[in-house]
Chains A and B, each alone.
Chain A
Amino acid sequence: MNAEKQYIDLYSECRSLIAEHSALVLNARREEAYEDFRRLGFPSQKVERYKYTDVAAAFAPNYGLNLRHIDIPLNPYDVFRCDVPNLSTSLYFVVNDRFYDKALPKATLPEGVEVMSLAEAATKNPHFIEKYYGRLARSSKDGLNALNTMFCQDGLFIHVPKGVVVERPLQIINILRADVDLMVNRRVLIVVEDGAEAKVLFCDHAIDDHQFLATQVSEVYVGENAHLELYELEETHVKSHRFANTYVDQQRSSVATIDSITLHNGLTRNRTDVTLSGEYAETRMFGCVIADKQQHVDNNTLIDHRVPNCQSTELYKYVLDGEAVGAFAGRVLVREGAQKTTSQETNANLVATDTARMYTQPMLEIYADDVKCSHGSTVGQLNDEALFYMRQRGIPDAEARMLLKFAFAGEVLDSITLEPLRDRLHYRVEKRFRGELSKCEGCKLCK
């Protein structure tokens, strides 16, 4: 329990300071989370779901935390210009783990829609937040949830009331900014009520050349007949570590699309758990990982079919180069009585060097008989015949390989319904493969 000790000590020394800069509803869960964390510690690699990532090692260094809520001198609206042409979004920022509310956009959201600081929401409307906060992401079950619940002071709250359709995508830029090695603990709560619709795009960036360690716990509620598209795009740098746990609950006839794209990172561990609680709900989960150097990307998903007549599809693709390590573990659980479930899971991977390593583990666990479930996973190379065909047409070998890799990853990008974003990502992925760009172009942040 060495890695844990500094966090246990820090919390016991700073509990009042942490509480002071947060909200009651969030504070109410800390002590319990603290006890859970003391009991659980960081999940070890012996735990099946954490087999491929050494969590304790990532948390072992001594990071600074901004528990006093000291302002960061930065106006993201000045420096950040989204480089997705023709994509019109309502733009918000979370700087480290604080919602940036100094100069909110004039974007007019439909009536009743809230996009705001989670701490502020908890102060304004404690009963509402209380009802949802910490219900899906249980600190008693996962050491990372416990740690995040202990330390998180703010984050993002999105609320789309019953029947409201938010046409314009909500874009949230998570910016990591610091002058020292920094740990941030973000919390996200998204409530999309019955019949409501929203598209939410998260972009993760790290703008300083320091070590970052970000934990993020997201709880996402999708009501009856609601539609939610949730995109998470990570373009940080090799010194940043991301531990993101996302929990999604879907009610009857809801449709949730969850897209997770990792283009640049240091170490990333995404855990995404979707619970299908209402019949006729549909989950579409996509992931795309492009990694090289010593990057590490571990996606761990669970789709829990609790009721009959639901549908899930899952597609994750990895391209690994250099000494990158990729891991994918996707579990589809069909509980007793969840008849007429259909589920399809696919994981395909390209391993380009003998120093890169891919672990894949698609899992089906089925307790109902009237189901159609399948999964497939492959690790392999580019199609030799296709390569030769292209070379016969005069396309040089390297270029032909690039085109094929690009096509391979493109299948995941095609799942994105925001057309400008999709087009831009195709372009960015191509650039990524060409090794031309490791940062986005449009913003000062990356200069």
Chain B
Amino acid sequence: MEERSKDNELLREIADKKYEYGFTTDVTTDIIEKGLSEDVVRLISEKKGEPEWLLDFRLKAFRHWQTLEQPTWGHLDMPEIDYQDISYYADPTAQKGQGVGGKEQEIDPELMKTFDKLGIPLEERMALSGMAVDAVMDSVSVKTTFRERLKEKGIIFCSISEAVREHPDLVRQYLGSVVPYRDNFFAALNSAVFSDGSFVYIPKGVRCPMELSTYFRINARGTGQFERTLIVADDDSYVSYLEGCTAPMRDENQLHAAIVEIVVMERAEVKYSTVQNWYPGDKEGKGGVLNLVTKRGHLRGANSRLSWTQVETGSAITWKYPSCVLQGDGSQAEFYSVALTNNFQQADTGTKMIHLGKNTKSTIISKGISAGRSQNAYRGLVRVAKNADGARNYSSCDSLLLGSKCGAHTFPYMDVQNPTAVVEHEATTSKISEDQLFYCNQRGIPLEDAVGLIVNGYAKDVLNKLPMEFAAEAQKLLGVSLEGAVG
């Protein structure tokens, strides 16, 4: 049993691992009163100086939300959320008195420092080459870099609040067209109170010359973040979009209920990558972000392509199913996911692939890694509609268990209504191979490094799909979260 005790020691060590991004920024923030009502919805809309149609949209969503109940089907033990005990708007840029979407020149140096510390420099000369960033803290976009350069190509990249002002027709045309406010409980909530997020429009025939990214940061206490992102890729265009997120360490749960909508037109291609590192709570399971997200892409055009890649290491609870509606004939969708849970984290994540068009193709590769006392579930739906002749899906969902107190679950749903469709699903669950560990040990690699090595190898198919800078970050994250996690 010597090995067991050594393992336990290592497990403790991981649990003790510090969350690197847990600091707070001391900045004057305009936070509205806690609570949710029509007045609050109106207030948010007013603070953002929104047009009437958008307020209408919010109010409709709010009224619908009031008729709904929070879903319980996830394999999650969800703490009760008191929706009246959350502040729905927090603006850290308010101090400079700029109000609506503070202008660039007025950014508080504290905020600049914060993003610097997070590795997201907001000065363009400092920025990672080839990456434009929209930095969002709490409810407000702080700055979007490289906008001018992108504008030359006709690409619009800005915060959604700004897009509402500058490009109202585009926003109005697409907002809610992929995820209607009636979609689900959290989608209705988001549609009522959404604050900031990014808007991307790639015109016909344009290849976006750099990676676009949004960095989400929760800072203020007692607030929720309601990100809203909308990406439209017109015919024959291409964009790769990245999303990162962190939050301070707090004892209470914080709510992040986002909606991401993606529209992909004919022959266009969108790659959407996420490295999610919200604060996961402490080793006792206290605190952490509740990450309840609706992400969906609509492959409207023929031969369009969309791929979702996600590395989920943070959050106390993750409820997230980036999905694809394959409507255009010959469209192709992919979902690559690594979800790692430790301590008391819970994840119920996966995807939906809805095949409507002919000769549509989807691929699902999911890798779950569970450690500590965490619960990690893959949940996915593949539906082939009656007219989706020649539809193909391949799904592979593997789970790796590190420790005997965690859980790994696989819930795939397949619904096939077309005789020419081929749908395949396979899943395996196993513990980390002792042979592999021993082999590494024999070559002189310490146990914790060996685990990191093996887990990274296990997740490689997915990590490879990430853009370079993100892949390195994700690899590091997996290592940090799992050093020595052998059970």
Contacts and interface: CB of A to CB of B under 8 A. Distances in A.
**A adjacent to B, CB under 8 Å:** yes
Contacts of A349: 416
A360 B410 CA distance: 13
Contacts, number: 119
Nearest to A373: B429
Contacts of B424: 376-378, 380
A369 B426 contact: no
Interface stretch (B106-114, B220-228, B400-408): B400-408
Contacts of A352: 419
A366 B414 CA distance: 21
Nearest to A338: B404
Interface in B295-329: none
A48 B419 CA distance: 26
A367 B420 CA distance: 37
Contacts of B431: 369-371
Given A375-B426, A378-B423, A359 B404 contact: no
B425 A362 contact: yes
B415 A359 contact: yes
A227 B420 CA distance: 42
B191 interface: no
Contact of B419 (A368, A372, A378, A381): A381
Contact of B425 (A48, A351, A371, A378): A378
Contacts of A375: 410, 425-427
Nearest to B431: A369
Interface string B385-418: 0100000000000010111111111111111111
Contacts of B417: 351, 354, 356-358
A59 B226 CA distance: 46
Interface size class of A (residues with CB under 8 A): 35 or more
A281 B482 CA distance: 35
A290 to B, nearest CB: 16
A353 interface: yes
Contact of B406 (A48, A353, A362, A369): A369
A363 interface: yes
Interface string B429-444: 1110000000000000
Interface in A365-401: 365-381
B51 to A, nearest CB: 39
Given A374-B426, A374-B428, A379 B414 contact: yes
B364 interface: no
A366 B418 contact: no
A136 B337 CA distance: 40
A380 B422 contact: yes
B422 A381 contact: yes
Contacts of B411: 361, 363, 365
B412 A362 contact: yes
B421 A369 contact: no
Contacts of B53: none
B487 interface: yes
A354 B419 CA distance: 5
A301 to B, nearest CB: 15
Interface in B143-178: none
A216 interface: no
B487 A369 contact: yes
B418 A363 contact: no
A339 B4 CA distance: 15
Contacts of A359: 413-416
B119 to A, nearest CB: 34
Interface in A122-174: none
A365 B409 contact: yes
Interface string B347-387: 00000000000000000000000000000000000001010
Contacts of A380: 421-424
9 tightest A-B CB contacts, nearest first: A369-B401, A376-B426, A380-B422, A379-B416, A364-B410, A374-B428, A373-B429, A367-B407, A379-B423
Interface of B: 73, 75, 384, 386, 399, 401-431, 487
17 contacts: A351-B416, A351-B419, A352-B419, A357-B416, A358-B414, A359-B414, A359-B415, A359-B416, A360-B413, A361-B412, A362-B425, A364-B429, A374-B427, A375-B410, A376-B425, A376-B426, A377-B424
